[in-house]
Structure 1
């Protein structure tokens, strides 16, 4: 095997590719993707008690539980449960390849209060502090599309510049606007230690374009330490497309694959000039997610056997009563990618967790079905009652999307290491 094939098998990494620190770990989507890409977690940090319970039930253990933590790729993830602001990362200085985290989205979310930089939950400064204390070779950060709103544009450029020059730290009492001016002046200088500068790329991506059965727009920010010479790195190209899905539905191959009765089939109207997705795989639909994947051993999810009744063969697969459809609250369609999974505080608006069957009837999606839409493995246990499980999923990074990014970063770091060795 060569290249990517040598690093990754169907079940995950064949060997370690580097080390990582996981910030704002939540229910584990990005951390699991980094693990699958071959990164060994030195420490994971999370404040929420339910999310920490989820992590411990799966791949984590309390930090300090043993003297041999995080020593191999198969080790339990060392988990620090608590406020990231109180964590000292200096013990890992010089040992970290990647700092990764889905920075909490509430300050920037279109569904939130839109406080942005004035929100106490704005934790970008903690990401920058972690970078200063560890000097990682790369950074992967994920956030919501709302971060790109025009009203936040000046602050977003400030975030990117602080990531480019994290050691030009903001001093106590300094307004972020004054700091932004200092950063611009510092970045204009050429005679700076390249180990204290980062080359930064960012991109708005749709998870559906990378094989996730969900339309989910997110901003990824990737940075490499300048001394590695990786300024030319580019984000992975989309592998899936809506055009390919429409083409497969129009020619009947999609319906044949799923053995959909003819009375439920339809031929979509494809507008003139529409990108037909030539060369890409088709978007994966909700029907695809429920059907499973024989290539990976993922089983078909049957209809739930009853409300609040666990399915004997499928974890978290139980029905829930009260699904409704009305204007502004429309269900997911089986033959499209699911809507964006959200983390509603008082229930989820918009019908994101309602499913419409072939016969037109509706029901709530099960927790396991939503986890499938987020591309979590079926054995991934989610702690807490249904509302808490859904909240963790809505806050997570889709595992498959994050793994695409993580593997691309892993390959870049390997090429950087080869260049360093000459």
Structure 2
């Protein structure tokens, strides 16, 4: 039986799709942005298998009555990337349930649904020293979701109480937490994208889990480019190759980082007049310009991290730079390739809206790698519990016969 999951802050569906590829059957996905909700719904209407029949809950996650959501009772996994409003100790210590911060909402859902595990993703900035106390606060909240804030309690006071009670708390709901900062390029994503993953297993789950090992490396890419195999694979003439100087040796056994050129292989240039035939969301976006700090992503390196572009048209992170120095914006489909979205998955909305969804997403491939590992450990735990239950019943029958 497939493991059941609930996705929070689903956005355009990066973590959602990766979880589905790992075998999670989602009973619901919560998201407030109407464009993102339409993206998921339209793909479901097109009978795209990873979101087929998905219950999309549009609106504030804090307003969801989970007792009324079919299948939410007893889910195995809660996943999501909550927007967060980090606070420094030197600033205003607002109420622990500040309305701009979605981590309290996340811990509230975990408390209500009591999943066997959760996977929470967030930005690298959360690990900055400026926010170290807030980050530790978040981690303690996730480990002890039942230790809510009290009326009028600031997050600073709540943090102090969590620290005091952390080792002595006798709650029947607690989680063992593993926190890891990763670069998506190290896991087969053609993009330098650093993200924090917080993975928790409920205390009664027998799982000795660690973050999956990296499978790709920069050294392996440089080796292939120096040897020439990278250029030969793409049919690049010798005169057009970028000189690479590196030590030619068998390094770490990892695969090479994937580049922008790798990601876009087989995809035609977007048409100047509109959509390239037979390709979803593949239209030319004009107006790309290079300027200091926004020079685009070199074709033969992993892309820079795509940005959501919440203040109008995204900058140079969302365009590619060719060997001759010219630049152009990624089409929506090209950006989706960079984020490892499947080609059959359509993004709803104009270019800026679609790019916002893509830029906010977890790379699908990275999500699949993480979720596959989590699913594997949950399935092993289930098998152990079934075996123990069978042994217990057999022992009981033996005692009765005696």
CA 187–115 in structure 1, closer or farther in 2 if over 3 Å, else same = closer
Which position in structure 1 is the counterpart of 2:59? 82
RMSD: 2.5
Output aligned runs, 1:174-213, within 5 Å. Answer: 174-189=153-168, 191-193=170-172, 196-213=173-190
Inter-partner Cα distance in structure 2 for 1:164 and 1:180: 12
Q: Deviations over 1:293-321 (max 9, x none)?
A: xxxxxxx11112205x1111211111122
Inter-partner Cα distance in structure 2 for 1:131 and 1:55: 23
CA 155–253 in structure 1, closer or farther in 2 if over 3 Å, else same = same
Give unmatched runs, 5+ long, in structure 2.
389-402
CA 379–75 in structure 1, closer or farther in 2 if over 3 Å, else same = closer
Output aligned runs, 1:37-116, within 5 Å. Answer: 37-59=22-44, 75-91=52-68, 94-104=73-83, 107=85
Deviation at 1:121, TM superposition (A): 2.8
Q: 1:282 aligns with which of 256, 266, 279?
A: 256
Which position in structure 2 is the counterpart of 1:347? 312
Which position in structure 2 is the counterpart of 1:310? 275
Inter-partner Cα distance in structure 1 for 2:43 and 2:55: 12
Counterpart check, 1:170 vs 2:146: no
Q: 1:324 aligns with which of 273, 285, 289?
A: 289
Q: 1:236 aligns with which of 212, 229, 250?
A: 212
Report which stretch shifted further, 87-96 or 370-379.
87-96
Q: Deviations over 1:324-383 (max 9, x none)?
A: 112111021110000100011233554112222244322221111000000001111111
Q: Confirm or deny: 8 A CA contact 1:94 1:136 kept in the other structure.
A: no
Inter-partner Cα distance in structure 2 for 1:157 and 1:276: 40
CA 74–145 in structure 1, closer or farther in 2 if over 3 Å, else same = closer
Q: Confirm or deny: 8 A CA contact 1:216 1:339 kept in the other structure.
A: yes
Deviation at 1:207, TM superposition (A): 0.5
Q: 1:216 aligns with which of 193, 217, 223?
A: 193
Inter-partner Cα distance in structure 2 for 1:115 and 1:250: 53
Which position in structure 1 is the counterpart of 2:245? 269
User: Runs in 1 of length 4+ with deviation above 6 angstroms?
Assistant: 114-119
Report which stretch shifted further, 170-179 or 37-46.
170-179
Inter-partner Cα distance in structure 2 for 1:174 and 1:149: 25
Q: Matched residue of 1:416: which SS?
A: helix
Inter-partner Cα distance in structure 2 for 1:312 and 1:164: 50
Counterpart check, 1:36 vs 2:21: yes
CA 190–104 in structure 1, closer or farther in 2 if over 3 Å, else same = closer
Provide TM-score, normalisation by structure 2: 0.88
Number of residues paired by the alignment?
Answer: 378
Q: Matched residue of 1:77: which SS?
A: coil
Give unmatched runs, 5+ long, in structure 1.
1-15, 62-71, 292-299
Inter-partner Cα distance in structure 2 for 1:75 and 1:314: 21
Q: 1:151 aligns with which of 110, 113, 130?
A: 130
Deviation at 1:419, TM superposition (A): 2.4
Which position in structure 2 is the counterpart of 1:25? 10
Inter-partner Cα distance in structure 1 for 2:284 and 2:86: 33
Inter-partner Cα distance in structure 2 for 1:385 and 1:74: 22
Q: Confirm or deny: 8 A CA contact 2:10 2:16 kept in the other structure.
A: yes
Q: Which has the larger radius of gyration?
A: 2
Provide TM-score, normalisation by structure 1: 0.84
Counterpart check, 1:226 vs 2:206: no
Inter-partner Cα distance in structure 2 for 1:88 and 1:153: 33
Deviation at 1:74, TM superposition (A): 7.5
CA 161–326 in structure 1, closer or farther in 2 if over 3 Å, else same = same
Inter-partner Cα distance in structure 2 for 1:394 and 1:190: 39
Counterpart check, 1:131 vs 2:110: yes
CA 413–192 in structure 1, closer or farther in 2 if over 3 Å, else same = same
